[in-house]
Amino acid sequence: MTINRKKYVMIGWCLIAFVITAHAQRAANSITYQLVENIGYRGDDVDDTYAKERCVLDVYYPENTKDFPTVVWFHGGGITGGEKFIPKELKEKGLAVVAVNYRLSPKAKAPAYIDDAAAAVAWTFNHIADYGGDPTKIIVSGHSAGGYLVAMVGLDKSWLQQHGEDADKLAGIVDFSGHAITHMTVRAERGIKDTQPIVDEYAPLYHVRKDAPPLVLITGDREMEMLGRYEENAYFYRMMKFVGHNDVHLYELDGFDHGAMATPAFHILLHYVDKLTKKTK
């Protein structure tokens, strides 16, 4: 009888677990997602045709829920190419994605594309609540050139200040293999070769500060990355720690090169979206 009773209790718990799981799945499946494309984020701030063409963003969001987090996502491409997209790894995860286009070199020169990134983030602060999102739960992220842009906007407060916003309101910065030194395209615009490192006001490293938002740096394998990309980020990490920043993290994805590292990095991004936005509740 004791054995049978234990058996029935176990069956009962299994049934309860099944019902809870099924309910959670139904709740998740009840969320539907919408995509609104090509929203101009600079308004009357620019008047040239190229800026109006490039300064647009897409908003992908869960339409029947509220107060969700948002990832503002910047594509890569060396600041000379690339197009906005909603990463498949971020779809149907209970969050919004704001995918941003920005002006590209050589049609635009530094710092136009950094200012574009700041304008897009400011737009998100001002408008994500219109879609149901919580403006205190915004994380900026991007790959390569996109990672560089989010680091610049998040570390150098002057860019968002020009658009009436405070970088310290960001819930976090998650940088996929971005330059920590001055970007190679900024250097190329000055006639400096890509093997000549520069650290000036257009380098995230120049703006290390104790009071920055939480910062997550992710790179590929140091032996497979572009030039010294891992080492740049390792030094960036060390200097942030040195100035007293208590929420900076560095990941090296062994076996993944500069392009391939983005796929596993999304897993890390989602982890920090959950971790960092819970702090703001």
Strand order in the sheet with 248-253: 33-40, 56-62, 96-100, 68-74, 133-143, 172-176, 215-220, 248-253
| Residue recorded with tokens 């916003």 | 165
My answer on whether 73 and 138 are in the same domain is: yes
My answer on whether 174 and 80 are in the same domain is: yes
My answer on whether 144 and 16 are in the same domain is: no
My answer on whether 122 and 167 are in the same domain is: yes
My answer on whether 256 and 148 are in the same domain is: yes
My answer on whether 142 and 210 are in the same domain is: yes
My answer on whether 8 and 109 are in the same domain is: no
Confirm whether pTM is higher than 0.75: yes
Query: Taking each helix axis from N to C terminus, what angle separates 145-155 and 112-127, rounded to the nearest 10 degrees?
Result: 70
Name every residue whose Cβ is closer than 8 Å to that of residue 279 and which is 6 or more positions away in sequence.
Answer: 171
> What does the pLDDT read at residue 191?
98
My answer on whether 25 and 90 are in the same domain is: no
What domain range includes position 21?
1-30
Give the helix ranges, DSSP H, for 156-254: 158-161, 184-189, 229-242
My answer on whether 251 and 168 are in the same domain is: yes
> What does the pLDDT read at residue 18?
54
CATH classification at residue 266: 3.40.50.1820
- pLDDT digit string, tens, across residues 69-87: 999 999 999 999 999 999 9
> What does the pLDDT read at residue 43?
84
My answer on whether 132 and 202 are in the same domain is: yes
Q: Which of 165, 276, 163 is nearest to 213 (CA)?
A: 276
> What does the pLDDT read at residue 16?
53
- In a structure prediction context, what are the per-residue pLDDT tens digits for the chain, which is 281 residues long? 444 554 444 455 545 545 444 444 455 558 999 999 999 999 877 778 999 999 999 999 999 999 999 999 999 999 999 999 999 999 999 999 999 999 999 999 999 999 999 999 999 999 999 999 999 999 999 999 999 999 999 999 999 999 999 999 999 999 999 999 999 999 999 999 999 999 999 999 999 999 999 999 999 999 999 999 999 999 999 999 999 999 999 999 999 999 999 999 999 999 999 999 985 44
